[in-house]
Amino acid sequence: MSQTIPRRSLNLRRSVLSVPAINLRALEKSHSLDCDAVIFDLEDSVSPEKKEQARENLRAFFAGPPLEGKERIIRINSLSSEFGPADLDLVKALLPDAVLLPKVDGPRDITDMGDLLADADAPEELRIWAMIETPRGVLNAGAIAESGRTPGSRLDCLVVGLNDLRKETGVLPQPGRTYLVPWLMQVVLAVSAYGLDAIDSVFNDFRDEQGFDAECLQGRAMGFAGKMLIHPAQIEAANRHFGPDPAAIAEAEAIIAAFADPASDGLNVINSGGRMIERLHLVQAEALVHKARLISARKPAR
């Protein structure tokens, strides 16, 4: 039997808010928000003439009070662009939790970035996230995720970018994402095979609460760890939909207790309340309870 590859990260990634680095007010507000992670964006949300100012904003922000209880990710411009090298220098100086690469087409993009970070003696804790937002990125999702299992790889997470993918394919933005579902599931399958996380794409109309709820429910059912957000108004719903509900937590605790029973020693399959459960369910239960405890231990946003 092949060995199941465990998820590498047990971080909370229910709500991943994108904040334009050019927006000083939004940067400061990120301290008070209850999102799990913040993407400081230097790419799409910053016009070319304001790229340098956005980098200076991030320098000042990172020099200030730490962003407590949240992952810090900097999305850079493509290294092949005129802005990418300066963005990478900023990442090396600020040492966020991760660098987010735009428009990743294949595993070479990941290995090249890993080599650049290694050459700069960046700590191993500085991870790589990858935007999957091109046709080639979707087609190569498995190979990209597999690159995260190579020795020394920093790849932690794939983030789906449907706006660019729609633009390049001509797929219309329809409710239910009917024609996009196969591509979304391809990304989820890729990360599941190699122990990474996948973050669902943004929902563009932050005023459409019903539509956002429906898309969160869909993404959770597909297996995404969380959702990329464009507005603070979306945080509460994302946390609720992608977080463990009380019934799931109770079931997970029951599974853990059942395997902790001395009568279960040495058994890979046991009967718990009339249901046959395997040790792989124990691994899933422990991960869920761990995340529930992380949520409970979170300090209230200030």
Q: Which residues are annotated as a binding site?
A: 75, 133, 164
Q: What are the strands, taking DSSP E only, across the chain? A: 15-20, 37-41, 71-75, 98-101, 127-132, 155-160, 197-200, 226-229, 269-272, 275-278
- Collapsing DSSP to helix, strand or coil, 258 comes out as helix
> What is the sign, positive or negative, of the torsion defined by CA atoms of 150, 185, 231, 195?
negative
Instruction: For residues 209 and 93, give the distance between their C-alpha atoms in angstroms, rounded to a whole number.
Output: 39
For the chain, give the number of residues: 302
Question: Where is the binding site for substrate, in residues?
Answer: 75, 133
Cα separations in angstroms, 178 against 131, 161, 182: 21, 16, 8
The single-letter DSSP state of residue 286 is: H
Q: Which of 146, 67, 133 is nearest to 105 (CA)?
A: 133
Instruction: For residues 101 and 103, give the distance between their C-alpha atoms in angstroms, rounded to a whole number.
Output: 7
Instruction: For residues 166 and 173, give the distance between their C-alpha atoms in angstroms, rounded to a whole number.
Output: 7
Q: Which of 255, 240, 245, 242 is nearest to 286 (CA)?
A: 255
Instruction: For residues 90 and 51, give the distance between their C-alpha atoms in angstroms, rounded to a whole number.
Output: 12
**Is 127:95 a contact under the CB 8 Å cutoff?**
no
Question: Where is the binding site for Mg(2+), in residues?
Answer: 133, 164
**Strand 71-75, strand 275-278: pairing:** unpaired
**Is 100:129 a contact under the CB 8 Å cutoff?**
yes
